[in-house]
Amino acid sequence: MNKYTERLYNGLIKENPTLVLMLGMCPTLAVSTAAINGIGMGLSSTAVLVLSNLVISLLRRVIPNEVRLPAYIVIVASLVTVTELLMEAYLPSVYEALGIYIPLIVVNCIILGRAEAYANKHEPGLAVMDGLGMGLGFTVALTLAGLVREVLGAGTAFGYQVLPKSITPMAIFIQPPGAFLVIALFIIIMNAIGIKTRQKKLVESNGCDGNCGLCSLTCEQGKEAAK
């Protein structure tokens, strides 16, 4: 495996942002009402992530270290605005379904987290592959959560009927409580088969790890303030 495919494997499996690193919980819970929404959200975040990793990697010697976080935020926010406008024009149905969660990609921790942890230290080629791996890992996890919720809650998968009509779907799974239940179920399964996740950090930090957005910025300040 060369170093480029290694980045893909890392994002998809080894450090899957949602299932292993427990980042970006807000969109995961919010848009997983149907598998197709998971794909829409996942791919739009992937597009932003790949481009932001590319731009940040190209500019890594230009941006002064002291103001890097505000600079990253401006880059990510511009890319999100572009994505949002493109989706409104060409994919109006997905745009309607995802609504407020598209502009909120800005505060998705995966994007700023990768900029901080990877893109600002590596060459553009690797940064793009890293963004692609992480983005696809996010997409797979979101789609999986969406699929489980859709099958249980509506009896359909990607809009096609899969459960026999005689079984009444459990509507609770496509309503808000179902999101918490399905993600809890995923973590229980991962725990039971012994995959190490960062869930302990998620529930026992001071909101730093797995925070939705500007994670590193807040964590640094939070730690300083705590001193």
Partner 1 sequence: MKSLILIIISGALINNVVLNQFLGICSFLGVSKQMKASASLGAAVIFVITIASAVASLLYDQVLKPFHLDFMKTIVFILVIAALVQMVEMFLKKKSPAIYKALGIYLPLITTNCAVLGVALTNVQDGYNFVQSVLSGFGTAVGYTLAIVLLAGIRSRIREEDLPAPLRGAPIVLISAALMSIAFMGFGGLSF
Q: For binding to partner 1 (CB under 8 A), which residues are involved?
A: 22, 25-27, 29-30, 70, 73-74, 77-78, 80-81, 84-85, 99-100, 103-104, 106-107, 109, 172, 175-181, 183-185, 187-189, 191-192, 199-200, 202-215, 217-218, 221-222, 225-226
Residue 59's region, left for phi above 0, alpha for psi from -120 to 50, else beta, is alpha
Question: Closest CB to partner 1 among 46 and 83?
Answer: 83
Cα 211 from Cα 110, distance rounded (Å): 10
For residues 7 and 108, which CB has a smaller minimum distance to partner 1 in the complex?
Answer: 108
12/107 with CB nearer partner 1: 107
* CB 48, min distance to partner 1, A: 12
Residue 180 CB, nearest distance to partner 1 (Å)? 4
Euclidean distance between CA atoms 46 and 20, whole angstroms: 17
Minimum distance from residue 163 beta carbon to partner 1 (Å): 22
Instruction: Please report, as a single letter, which amino acid is at residue 125.
Output: G
Distance in Å, CB of 67 to partner 1, minimum: 12
Residue 192 beta carbon to partner 1: minimum distance, rounded to whole angstroms: 4
Q: Do residues 190 and 212 make contact, with C-beta atoms less than 8 angstroms apart?
A: no
SS (H, E, C) 97-129: HHHHHCHHHHHCHHHHHHHHHCHHHCCHHHHHH
- Max Cα-Cα span within the chain: 63
- Smaller CB distance to partner 1: residue 16 or 129? 16
Closest CA to 191 of 32, 19, 9: 19
56 or 126: CB nearest partner 1: 56
